[in-house]
Amino acid sequence: MSEPLITLEHVQRTFDVKGQTITAVNDVNLEIPAGEVLCLVGESGCGKTTTGKMIAGLLPVSYGRILFRGQDIAALAPAERKSYRLGVQMVHQDPYASLNPVQTIADILAAPLQHHRFTRGEAETRKRMRELLEIVDLTPPDDYLDKYPHQLSGGQRQRVSVARALTVNPAFIVADEAVSMVDVSIRISLLKMFTRLKDEMGVGVLLITHDLALAKYFAWEGRIGVMYLGRLVEIGPARQVVGHPQHPYTQVLLSAIPEADPDVTRAKPRIALRSTDVPSLLRLPTGCTFHPRCPAFAGEVCAREVPALKRAGWGSDVACHLAQAHEP
Amino acid sequence: MQAIGDFLSGLWRESVKTLKILSRNKMGLFGFILIVLIVLLSFVGPFIWPPETSANVTEINQGASAQHWLGTDFQGQDNLRKIINGGKDIVLIAVITGVLSMLIAVVVGSFSAFVGGWVDSLLMELVNIWLTIPKFPLLAVLATVLALKDVVTLSVLMAVLEWPALARQVRSQVLSLKNRDYVEAAVMLDLGTPRIIFRELLPNMMSFVAISTIFAMTHAIYQQTGLVFLGIVPYSSANWGVMISAAERRGVLFNPQAAWSILAPMAAIVIFQLALVSFARSLDEVFNPRLRTSV
Amino acid sequence: MARPTLSVRDLSIAYRARRGQVQAVRGISFDIERGEALALIGESGSGKTTVGLGLMHLLPATARIVDGSATYHRPANGSDATAREIEVLGLKGDALRRFRWGECAMVFQSALNALNPVLRISEHFADTARAHGYLSASGQSNALRERSMDLLSRVRLDPERVWRSFPHELSGGMRQRVLIALALLLEPQLLILDEPTTALDILTQRSIMDVLKELRSQLGFSMLFISHDLALAAELADRVATMYAGRIIEIGDVRTIFQNPYHPYTIGLIKAVPTLAGDKEDLTSVPGSPPDLIDLPTGCKFHPRCPLADARCRSDEMDQTEAAPGHQVACWRWPDARDVLKSFQVK
Closest B-chain CA to A166: B189
What's the rounded Cα separation, in Å, for the pair A256 and A246?
16
- Our CA-based measurement puts residue C179 at a distance from the nearest CA of chain A, in whole angstroms, of 18
C222 confidence band (pLDDT: 50, 70, 90): very high
Residue B200 identity (one-letter amino acid): E
| Enclosing H/E stretch for A107 | helix A105-115
Confidence band of A8 (pLDDT split at 50, 70, 90): very high
Which chain B residues have a beta carbon less than 8 Å from that of A167?
Answer: 189
pLDDT band for C87, please (50, 70, 90 cuts).
very high
Is the CB of residue B10 less than 8 Å away from at least one CB of chain A?
Answer: no
Contacts of A56 (CB under 8 A, 6+ apart): A88, A89, A90, A174, B188
Higher pLDDT, B80 or B186: B186
Residue A158 in contact with partner chain C when CB distance is under 8 A = no
Average pLDDT of the segment spanning B165-180:
88
Residue C311, Cβ neighbours under 10 Å: how many?
Answer: 9
| Per-chain mean pLDDT for chain B | 81
Share of residues in chain B with pLDDT > 90 (%): 2
Is B188's CB within 8 Å of A57's CB? yes
Q: Which residue, among C88, C98, C102, has the nearest Cα to C52 in the 3D structure? A: C88
Instruction: Kindly state whether A59 is in contact with chain B, defined as any CB-CB distance less than 8 angstroms.
Output: no
Q: What is the DSSP code string of C104-115? A: EEEE-S-HHHHS
Do the Cβ atoms of B185 and A92 come within 8 Å?
yes
The verdict on a CB contact (< 8 Å) between C280 and A220 is: yes
Cα distance from A191 to chain C (closest Cα, Å)? 10
Task: Please give the sequence-ordered ranges of beta strands (E in DSSP) within C287-329, or none if there are none.
Answer: 321-324, 327-329
pLDDT the model gives residue B251: 66
Q: What is the pLDDT of residue A233?
A: 95
Distance between CA A276 and CA A63 in Å, rounded? 31
Looking at the complex, report in whole angstroms how far the Cα of residue C1 sits from the nearest Cα belonging to chain A. Answer: 27
Angle at A111 between CA A107 and CA A112, to 5 degrees: 140
- Domain boundaries, given as residue ranges, for chain A: 6-102+148-326
The Cα B212–Cα B217 span in angstroms is 9
Please give the ipTM for the structure prediction.
0.87
Give the closest of C209, C289, C347 to A258, CB-based.
C209
Res B212 pLDDT > 90: no
Mean per-residue pLDDT, C187-200: 88
Global confidence as pTM: 0.84
* A169 at B interface, C-beta within 8 A: no
- pLDDT of B62 over the 90 cut: no
Residue-wise pLDDT for C9-68, tens only, equals: 999 999 988 778 899 999 999 999 999 999 999 988 899 999 999 999 989 999 999 999
Residue from B229, B209, B214 nearest B136 by CA: B229
- Does residue C258 carry a pLDDT above 90? yes
Buried b (16+ CB within 10 A) or exposed e, C18-27: eeeebbbbbb
Chains that touch C (3 or more CB pairs under 8 A): A
Give me the residue from A57, A86, A148 closest to B289, CB to CB. Answer: A148
Tell me if chain A has a CB within 8 Å of the CB of B202: no
Overall average pLDDT of the B173-185 stretch: 88
Is the CB of C206 inside 8 Å of chain A's CB atoms? Answer: yes
Give me the pLDDT at residue C311, please.
92
| Contacting residues of A for C43, CB less than 8 Å apart | 183-185
Counting as contact any 3 or more CB pairs under 8 A, the partners of A are: B, C
Of A90, A101, A103, the CB nearest to B188: A90
pLDDT bracket for residue C346 (50, 70, 90):
very low
With a CB-CB cutoff of 8 Å, which residues 179-198 of chain B face chain A?
A: 180-182, 184-192, 195
Instruction: Judge whether A164 is closer than 8 Å to chain B, CB to CB.
Output: yes
C-alpha to C-alpha distance for B162 and A113, rounded to whole angstroms? 42
Whether C344 shows a pLDDT value over 80: the answer reads no
**Sheet with C63-74: strands ordered across:** C20-32, C6-17, C63-74, C84-87
Is the pLDDT at A324 greater than 70? The verdict is no
Q: Answer whether residue B292 shows pLDDT above 70.
A: no
Q: Cα separation of B217 and B224, whole Å?
A: 11
What residue in A sits closest to B291 (Cα-Cα)?
Answer: A150
Specify the pLDDT at position B9. Answer: 75
Q: Measured in whole angstroms, how far is the alpha carbon of residue B53 from the centre of its chain?
A: 30
Q: Return the pLDDT at C347.
A: 39
Nearest-Cα distance to chain B for A167, in Å, is 9
Instruction: Provide, as residue numbers in chain A, all residues whose Cβ is less than 8 Å from the Cβ of B200.
Output: 100
Query: Cα dihedral sign for C288, C290, C296, C300?
Result: positive
**B142 close contact with A: CB closer than 8 A:** no
User: Does A327 score more than 80 pLDDT?
Assistant: no
Q: Indicate the range of A24-38, C73-87, C120-134, C269-283 predicted with least confidence.
A: C73-87
Contact residues, B window 219-258, toward A, CB-based 8 Å cutoff: none
* Overall CATH class of domain C6-242: alpha beta
Distance of alpha carbon C294 from alpha carbon C107, whole angstroms: 29
Q: Find the farthest-apart pair of alpha carbons in chain A and give their distance in angstroms, rounded.
A: 69
Q: Residues C178-188: what's their mean pLDDT?
A: 90
Residues 6+ apart with CB under 8 A from B203: A100, A102, A103, B7, B10
| Gap from B205 CA to chain A (nearest CA, Å) | 10
By Cβ distance, the residue of B187, B192, B200 closest to A100 is B200
Of residues C288, C234, C293, the one with CA closest to residue C265? C288
pLDDT digits (tens, 9 = 90+) for B67-125: 777 777 777 777 788 888 888 888 888 889 989 999 899 888 888 887 778 888 898 89
Cα C37–Cα C38–Cα C39 angle in degrees, nearest 5: 120
Cα–Cα dist B288/B294, whole Å: 11
Q: Is the pLDDT of residue C257 over 90?
A: yes
| Beta-carbon count within 10 A of A202 CB | 11
pLDDT of amino acid A113: 94
C-alpha dihedral (A173, A179, A182, A187), degrees to nearest 10: 110
Split at pLDDT 50, 70, 90, the class of B235 is low
**pLDDT (average), residues A162-177:** 94
**Residues C252 and C327 sit within 8 Å (Cβ to Cβ):** yes
* Buried-exposed string A55-70: b where 16+ CB fall within 10 A, e elsewhere: bbbbbebbebebbbbe
- Do C258 and C234 form a contact (C-beta atoms < 8 A)? yes
State the pLDDT at residue A317: 92
Out of B239-243, C88-92, C257-261, pick the least confident: B239-243
Q: Give which of A196, A186, A115 is closest to A162, Cα–Cα.
A: A196
What are the start and end residues of each CATH 3.40.50.300 domain in chain C? 6-242
What is the pLDDT averaged over residues C76-94? 81
In whole angstroms, what is the distance from residue A249 CA to residue A293 CA?
9
Q: Which of A86, A100, A151 sits opposite B293 (nearest CB)?
A: A151
CATH code for residues B31-49+70-293: 1.10.3720.10
Contacting residues of C for A261, CB less than 8 Å apart: 234, 258-259, 275, 277
Counting one residue from A and one from B, how many pairs have CB atoms under 8 Å apart?
Answer: 72
Give the separation between CA B271 and CA B282, rounded to whole angstroms. Answer: 17
Is B134 near chain A, with CB under 8 Å?
Answer: no
Q: b/e per residue, C206-231, with b = 16+ CB within 10 A?
A: bbbbebbeebbeeeebbbbbbbbbbb
Helices (H), chain B: 2-22, 26-48, 79-115, 117-132, 135-146, 151-178, 181-188, 193-195, 202-229, 240-249, 259-286, 289-293
Closest residue to A43, CB basis, from C202, C207, C277:
C202
Confidence of residue B295 (pLDDT cuts 50, 70, 90): very low
Residue B272: other Cβ atoms inside 10 A:
23
Which tens digits make up the pLDDT trace of C119-147?
999 999 998 888 887 877 777 888 888 99
Partners of A43 on chain C (C-beta within 8 Å) are 201-203
Residue of A nearest to C286 (CA): A185
Rounded alpha-carbon distances, angstroms, from residue C345 to C224, C286, C340: 34, 9, 11
- Residues in B closer than 8 angstroms to A93, CB to CB, are 181
With bands split at pLDDT 50, 70 and 90, how would you rate the model's confidence at A53?
Answer: very high
Residue C87 in contact with partner chain A when CB distance is under 8 A: no
Contact C293, C246 (CB under 8 A): yes
How does the average pLDDT of chain A come out, rounded? Answer: 91
Q: Where are the beta strands (DSSP E) in chain C?
A: 6-17, 20-32, 37-41, 63-74, 84-87, 104-107, 190-194, 222-227, 239-244, 247-253, 321-324, 327-329
Fold of the CATH domain A6-102+148-326: Rossmann fold (3.40.50)
> Alpha-carbon distance C15 to C17, whole Å?
6
Q: How far is the C-alpha of A233 from the C-alpha of B165, rounded, in Å?
A: 50
Q: What is residue C139's predicted lDDT score, i.e. its pLDDT?
A: 76
